[in-house]
A and B are shown apart, each in its own frame.
Chain A
Amino acid sequence: VKKPTDDSARELLAGLPDARVDDVALRRLRQRIIDSVTDDSPKVTSRHRWRAVTAGVVAASALVGGALMILRHHQGVESPALARVSSANGSPIAWTRGIDGKTEWVDLRDGWFRLEIAPHAADRRVILRTPDGRIDDLGTVLDVQIAHGRTTQVHVQQGHVQLWLNVAPGLVLGDGETWASPAPVPPPSLPEASPPGIPAPASPAGLTAPSRHKVVRRAALPQPDASEQEDAAYLAVIRLLRSSHQPEARAAAEDYLRRFPHGFRHDEMHRLVDSPRPSAVKETRDSGQNSP
């Protein structure tokens, strides 16, 4: 295709009548265009500027606050407070802190915590509150594990703490000692350690159910998950039943029901707990024999 060079079309188009453009229409169109563009362009006034600055400050504050909260909930932050809270195994933790006069309290909600409590004056107290009790610090470094709304393990690395948990009131733990909640698998030697009829040795802090608690000198170990714990608790009951340790089996079943109120073997455990107590029967029979 060659570039067209003829001017005939140009000559033809010279005969076109004038385009119908009148001045009034042009002026009207001019105003329409100016109005459209003015409406579209944002008017920046001092009021708008102040609003933008205020919005910016609020947004920045919210961002900083949010970031601090996230840090505090997931990693632990160093604060001027006495207790330094962090995750013992890197997993997320949930907690809050408050200072009321000379008492600093730390609410531990969920997770595996490392708590380092700085040496402090005698009139200052640090109280660790757990969902099922509290731990009084006596100047220490400790790990606390909380799962499903209850304290499952406390390991003292350095110093001393006193536990005031529902299941372990007043128990004092020292260097290297670990308290674990009712063990998922009771040790096979349990009957030998606490044979039926022989009262278990009372703890210095007055533990009421020593057979269901254990203080061991060992490093903290990861806990099995809930389903494994439930299975283990069930198997422990079965094992005790098969070895004819009825009272211990019943206690283990009660423990199962307390720990897993909606557990898979709930009904079975309930039947065991509600079954007649051989010892009670025996006592009745004994008392009957002894009665005149």
Chain B
Amino acid sequence: VESSVKVVRSSTGRAEASDAGALERIASGDVSALGELYDRHARALLAFVSRAIGPADAEDVTHTVFVRAARLAGTYDGRSSSARSWLFGIAVKVLQERRRSFRRTVRALVRVRSTAPSATEPMFDARNDIEKALHSLSEAKRVVVLLADLEGFTCDEIARMLGIPVGTVWTRLHHARRELRNSIEGSS
């Protein structure tokens, strides 16, 4: 995993300069540039989203991320961050919106039919103990630990993506790691 993370980083490093150009072309209406951006980042994004919320909705979320990226391409500032970080930031926001929408739906269902929230949570088919442990975390903690320990983003970058203070990111990461360890140790 360490090596794969490094490979991802080096490949995106080469792509950063052309990401800015692609986003500029997207902003001017060149839809083919969106295809280039997609080819560079879609696999990583889809994998991240799939791990964060499960594979069922991952494609829809990734679709939303790229459509929104096309709309916001004109606002991209290539000097402040890479397109990878920018795209992951959009993905994190879409996940937050989805979570809020899901909560509203659950509340409405509870009001209407007295359905227990747990009964409406999406089912996730864990393939091993680590995946099971990961999905025992809350989505907010899961997203932070995935961004930090799998995607290799710094706490500052994660704080910017989530729009929260960096201290909150540290706290979530600390608790997420501890819960993850406890869960694995408990299961073993």
Contacts and interface: CB of A to CB of B under 8 A. Distances in A.
Contact of A34 (B35, B47, B50): B35
A24 B98 CA distance: 25
Contact of B128 (A15, A20, A29, A32): A15
B155 A8 contact: no
Nearest to A37: B70
Interface in A238-262: none
Contacts of A49: none
Interface stretch (B77-85, B99-107, B171-179): B171-179
Contacts of A14: 1-2
A29 B177 contact: no
Nearest to A17: B127
Nearest to B167: A1
Interface in A18-42: 18-21, 25-26, 29-30, 32-34, 36-38, 40-41
B55 A17 contact: no
Contacts of A4: 170, 173-174, 177
A162 B139 CA distance: 93
Interface string A31-72: 011101110110000000000000000000000000000000
A2 interface: yes
A12 interface: yes
Interface residues of A, number: 30
Contact of A13 (B38, B63, B127, B134): B134
A122 interface: no
B55 A20 contact: yes
A19 B46 contact: yes
A12 B149 CA distance: 9
Contacts of A26: 42-43, 46
Interface in B1-59: 1-2, 29, 31, 34-35, 38-39, 42-43, 46-48, 50-51, 55, 59
A16 B31 contact: no
B6 to A, nearest CB: 13
A1 B171 contact: yes
A13 B62 contact: no
A3 interface: yes
B168 to A, nearest CB: 9
A9 B59 contact: no
A123 interface: no
B145 to A, nearest CB: 6
A25 B42 contact: no
Nearest to B171: A1
Contacts of A1: 167, 170-171, 174
Nearest to B176: A9
B51 A16 contact: yes
B29 A41 contact: yes
A3 B177 contact: no
Nearest to B145: A9
A102 interface: no
A33 B34 contact: yes
A4 B174 CA distance: 6
Nearest to A31: B35
B46 A21 contact: yes
A16 B130 contact: yes
A25 B42 CA distance: 11
Nearest to B67: A36
Given A10-B1, A13-B1, A13-B149, A21 B47 contact: yes
B25 to A, nearest CB: 12
A6 interface: yes
B150 interface: yes
Given A3-B170, A14-B1, A33-B38, 9 more contacts: A1-B167, A9-B180, A10-B150, A15-B130, A16-B128, A19-B51, A19-B55, A21-B43, A30-B38
Interface of A: 1-4, 6, 8-10, 12-21, 25-26, 29-30, 32-34, 36-38, 40-41
11 contacts: A1-B170, A4-B170, A8-B181, A10-B2, A10-B150, A14-B1, A19-B47, A21-B43, A21-B46, A30-B39, A32-B63
8 closest residue pairs by CB, A with B:
A19-B47, A14-B1, A9-B177, A10-B149, A33-B66, A15-B130, A4-B174, A37-B70
